Structure 1
Amino acid sequence: MMTHGIHRRSLMAGAGISALAAPLVLARAAGAAEGDTMQMAEKPSSDSFTLGDFKLLVIEDGTRMMENPGETFGTGQDPETVAALLEENFLPTDKSLNGFNPVLVDTGSEKILFDTGMGPAGRSWGAGQLRAGLIANGVQPGDVDVVVITHMHGDHIMGLMEEDGPAFPNARYVFGETEYAFWSDDARMGTPAEGGHESVKKLIVPLADNATFVKEGSEVAPGITVMEAFGHTPGHLVFMLESGGEKLLLTADTANHYVLSLQRPDWHVRFDMDKEMAAASRRKVFDMVAAEKIPFLGYHMPFPAVGFVEKTDEGYVFTPKTYQFRV
């Protein structure tokens, strides 16, 4: 079980994240922030593979070049310590490339989309490519049966709506009940978390009548089970997929950098609302992934965002997938 309560400090931390999540996305829709550049191929990158009887399709919704990665993924650490770890892993110390990777799971009876990317607001700076990526792979927006939101930061929910209404017009929705309760609460008004609250009111609340609200142990569909991994947000969820004797864990934003957040899981991350709880969730989730030797798909892992971890003394080493799912 990975059930955590919402600590008072998570509500206070929410004041910080609100300025970094949905409002950040809205700001970037008008133009990339100084020092950031956007990179996106003309045709969205995609990767498909099977897990038992399930078919998975990962779409790269976009990427963002970030300055000074240690200020995001190693807050409070000595800059030289962060730089040394990046250099040991053959990475630049002054920049990192952050991707956004929604996944469509075709169970054979339903097409279930996990997270929706940046949507129309992101297209001015090269993101918001999920819709085009699905169509390029033969999936029309109306073909999506279920949309699952792992948590309600802007880069996961902005693609819920197009200018003419819901982006996936025939879908029903799955939201975390704790996550929805936090972001939809008018108590966020008048606090630094107000921006995230306003985004949820605009994008999530209108869909609530057609939504199922889930918690630890809930089943999205046969073979897809909810697990709570709170900390990044007050109701952040991960999802275990099981089909044909095979497993894969959708870890969402439990870890957001394949070196800094995995090799040093206890380091604080600027975007985590409750930093200690987020670190504890990272340990629980990736201890399980390592012990069971199962693959995971992380929303911000390097495309195609799937890999394995091996436990070390301090954390975990990431190994990206190659041909495991094709033989």
Structure 2
Amino acid sequence: MTFLRTAARLAALLALAAIPAAAAEEPGAATRFRIGRLEATALLDGTMSVPNDGKTFGLGRPPSEVAAVLRANGLSTERLDLSIQPLLVRAGPRILLFDTGAGDATFIKAGRLPASLKAAGVEPGQVTDIFVSHGHFDHVGGLLAKGGGLAFPNAAIHMAAPEWAALQANRSQAALVAAIAPKLAAFAPGAVILPGLVTAVPVNGHTPGHSAYEIGTGKDRLLYIGDSAHHEVISVQRPDWTIDYDTDAPRAEASRRALLQRAAAEGLRLYSPHFPYPGVGHVEARGDAFLWVPQAP
């Protein structure tokens, strides 16, 4: 399945599972925590829900099997709820933003990033660097303002070169590509982007150039995982189950398991833009699977 077909299917699936798009009128949410010497803030953009119908999570498995795992964890068996929460990091004169939410997409409940930034005390023009995990709309939609211009006019936009190439080939994203091209700084997968501050971590299979980001150094570092895992139960406790959003499912499943194994072995603190807000925690090994353990910021 190509990147373009996957992106189109993702939009269609979430349109079917839509919640009325009123979130832009709701207040923002900004939860501060620290990454060593760095000040970080979880920024809530919105939420989305996907039906447990065997077509998205646990692809090819009966919904009853997915429901059993959800029920065992005290969650609804009818749907899977995902958060949308970019990450803000202050590093001296730099203000870094990891992903930008869904913008004004009408088919999910999003659009709260501007209010969340305001709650964090940051104006869009102050953001110096944006790090894009991948080109799906719920991660890049917020790059554009409502009028079609850049929402963050002074920011360099960092994206893995294979991801940028795939985005450029996506005709439905032509307006976005044209707007961000002058600010785009493509990097090789795994590159050290800002020494001592941000290093790209390739997590293959979701999209052609999907990247996680390691922020900070030493024992205090944090790993922003992008879409390496979407759901705090299904993706973590059943990492080998197929997710329809993944362009290359077998490769994505292997990458997901490898990332979770590394995180558990090293005690890495993680930030997930789709796990329950504010998305900070770690994973623990549980036999052949893992357990998400949220942490208070």
Q: Please confirm whether the aligned pair reaches a TM-score higher than 0.5, indicating the same fold.
A: yes
Greater RCO (Cα-Cα under 8 Å, separation 6 or more): 1
What is the match of residue 8 of structure 2?
Answer: 19
Superposed, which structure 2 residues align to 1:1-327 within 5 Å?
Answer: 12-21=1-10, 28=15, 33=16, 36=19, 40=23, 42-68=26-52, 70-122=54-106, 126-164=109-147, 165-185=149-169, 197-222=170-195, 223-243=197-217, 245-322=219-296
Residue segments in structure 2 that go unaligned for 5+ positions in a row: none
The 1:22–1:215 alpha-carbon spacing in structure 2 relative to 1, beyond 3 Å, is farther
Shift of 1:206: 3.0
The one-letter code of the counterpart of 2:136 is H
Task: Please tell me the root mean square deviation across aligned C-alpha atoms, in Å.
Answer: 2.1
What is the one-letter code of the residue matched to 1:131? P
After superposition, give the CA deviation of every residue in 1:178-221 in whole Å (9 maximum; x if it has no partner): 11112313xxxxxxxxxxx1343211343223221112331222
> Hey, what's the Cα distance between the residues in 2 that align with 1:202 and 1:37?
25
Q: Conserved in 1, the CA contact under 8 Å of 2:264 and 2:285?
A: yes
CA distance in 2, matches of 1:252, 1:319: 17
Q: Does the C-alpha gap of structure 1 residues 118 and 68 become closer, same or farther in structure 2, counting only changes over 3 Å?
A: same
Judge which range, 260-269 or 206-215, deviates more: 206-215
Moved over 6 A (4+): none
Are the aligned partners of 1:218 and 1:225 in contact in 2 as well (CA < 8 Å)? yes
Who is 1:3 aligned against? Answer: none
**How much has 1:235 moved relative to structure 2?**
0.8
User: When the two structures are superposed, what TM-score results if normalisation uses the length of structure 1?
Assistant: 0.83
Are the aligned partners of 1:35 and 1:67 in contact in 2 as well (CA < 8 Å)? no
Worse-matched range after superposition: 207-216 or 53-62: 207-216
The 8 Å contact of residues 39 and 62 in structure 1, kept in 2 or not, is answered as no
- Cα deviations across residues 111-159 of structure 1 (Å, max 9, x unaligned)? 011111111334x864111111101221001010011111000111111
Q: TM-score, normalised by structure 2?
A: 0.91
Give the residue type in structure 2 aligned to 1:135: K
Number of aligned pairs? Answer: 294
Contact 1:264 1:314 survives alignment (8 Å): no
Give 1:73 shift. 1.4
Q: Distance in 2 between matches of 1:220 and 1:112?
A: 12
